[in-house]
Amino acid sequence: MRFDLVLFGGTGDLAWRKLLPALFQSFRHGSLPAGGRIIGVGRGAMSDDEYRALIAQRLAEVEADKRPSDAEFARFAQHLHYLRMDLSQPADYAALRELLQARDADTVVMYLATAPSLFTTVCEQLGAAGLATERTRVVLEKPLGHDLPSNRAINAAVREVFSEAQIFRIDHYLGKPSVQNLLALRFGNAIFEPLWRRENIASIEITMAEQLGVEKRGEFYESTGALRDMVQNHALQLLCAIGMEPPISADADAIRNEKLKVLQSLKRWTPETVSRDVVRGQYAAGQIAGKPVPGYRQEEGVSPTSQTETFVALRTEISNWRWAGVPFFIRTGKRLAGREASIVVHFRQVPHAIYRTPLGAANRLTIHLQPKDGLTLQLMAAAQSQADTGGVQTLSPAALDLDFDQRFGTERVGAYERLLLDVIAGRLNLFVRADEQEAAWQWVEPILETWQQANARGESPRPYVAGHWGPGAASALVARDGHSWMEEF
């Protein structure tokens, strides 16, 4: 299949860190269609060979096992081209049209790895230049808007040019192999479905923790914060995968219909419940891996009086028959004690205990998203050595551990690699529909509004020391339901 992938922002951070390394890996794996052309778009003047040299430099900096040999890159470089464009100038889109028409590819992908403020402009210009044909697909990176009105405005403008079936709103968490295995776990195995409900599950926690700070993205993060950056998209998509009803098929809209129902069933916020069930924090100076790191307010591009949150923990519920009364705890933050993304399903205690067990011990299913990729199921088993316990046997936790990398024995497809190939093939299953995004923004809007009012009163996020697991109030949040975060067991 002949395709053209036009990468707006082709010299930007996302292209260098994620997109071009992913495209190279798909080339290395033999999954990138042979007739493909990748056109990097940027504002600077550059020849094709100069662009290829820049990409070669970037790929030389990735992990050793993902670096190309000289021969590999020479073959991959044949796919790479460059076009200088000012995204506000119609004449530059005319030049792009001439470049694309000269080849007449089967599929043209317009990947907008730019600031969201440019999405509307680029799509309007593509439409005016006659580049929004039935063969065209457009990829929109997050964040898609800053709030509900801006999200609606961007989607409305894009739909003036492209149909919903042509729009690929990307959330790279949905491309992670572990998330794919989460869906397979739920809907490809008969043993879990009878257990996947309120009668058997005590609570569910979703953690997305980073040791890194904001690095050189302080100015961006000041206007974003953890709620917009991680909860509104990644965390809610994971919650949907855990909470959704079985779809009638693997068709994209069948899956997305069920995710939408989850978002619409989440308990709505009031100022009172936000104050009670949401914790916002901001990291202070501390140590990571034994090295001192600055506080958020000392980072480059950050106001010394910033009220932007770098940590969020919250409690919510899905108000339907399957999940009523089960607390879902979401936690995300920067400069935490470890790099960990996981979903933990805590099952209820046995209804009548005939054995001795450690305090709080129960069955747990942990879905590891990063850095490990796999599943751990905690069961209770008889201890090998028994002390005198009055004839009552003692049980201890024992884990069944499945490491997907070891089990399948091959290099696994990365998130962006999988998603880019899906765009080229026209598969929408792992992309977010407009009504999903709108429902997610509707849910977080009251939190943002309550925090805005708190900021006006001079209330700041709770401080936490870098290298710890966030403010103490996050532990108190789950303790009210008699639960603990995973690392506190």
Handedness of CA 454, 455, 459, 465 (dihedral sign): positive
Residue for token pair 């879990």: 192
Kind and range of the H or E run holding 346: strand 340-347
Does the annotation place 146 within a ligand binding site?
Answer: no
Tokens of 165: 């079936």
Tokens of 60: 């030389």
Q: Is 171 helix (H, G, I), strand (E, B) or coil?
A: coil
Does the annotation place 172 within a ligand binding site?
Answer: yes
Cβ burial 310-327 (10 Å sphere, 16+ → b, else e) = bbbbbbbbbeeebbeebb
- Best CA proximity match to 132, nearest among 168, 98, 97, 105: 97
Does the annotation place 210 within a ligand binding site?
Answer: yes
- Best CA proximity match to 39, nearest among 88, 109, 102, 139: 109
Distance CA 22, CA 373 (A): 18
Does the annotation place 268 within a ligand binding site?
Answer: no
The secondary structure of residue 32, as a DSSP letter, is S
Does the annotation place 18 within a ligand binding site?
Answer: no
Does the annotation place 142 within a ligand binding site?
Answer: yes
Half-sphere exposure of 181 (CA within 13 A, CB side): 22
Q: What are phi and psi of 132, to 5 degrees?
A: -100, 70
- Best CA proximity match to 227, nearest among 135, 104, 309: 309
The answer to whether 438 and 148 have CB atoms below 8 angstroms apart is yes
Q: Is 199 helix (H, G, I), strand (E, B) or coil?
A: coil
Residue for token pair 């071009």: 20
Instruction: Supply the residues annotated as catalytic.
Output: 234
The secondary structure of residue 86, as a DSSP letter, is -
Does the annotation place 176 within a ligand binding site?
Answer: yes
Distance CA 293, CA 153 (A): 39
CA 133 to chain centre: 30
Q: Which residues are annotated as a binding site for substrate?
A: 172, 176, 210, 229, 334
Q: Which residues are annotated as a binding site for NADP(+)?
A: 43, 86-87, 142
Q: Which residues are annotated as a binding site?
A: 43, 86-87, 142, 172, 176, 210, 229, 334
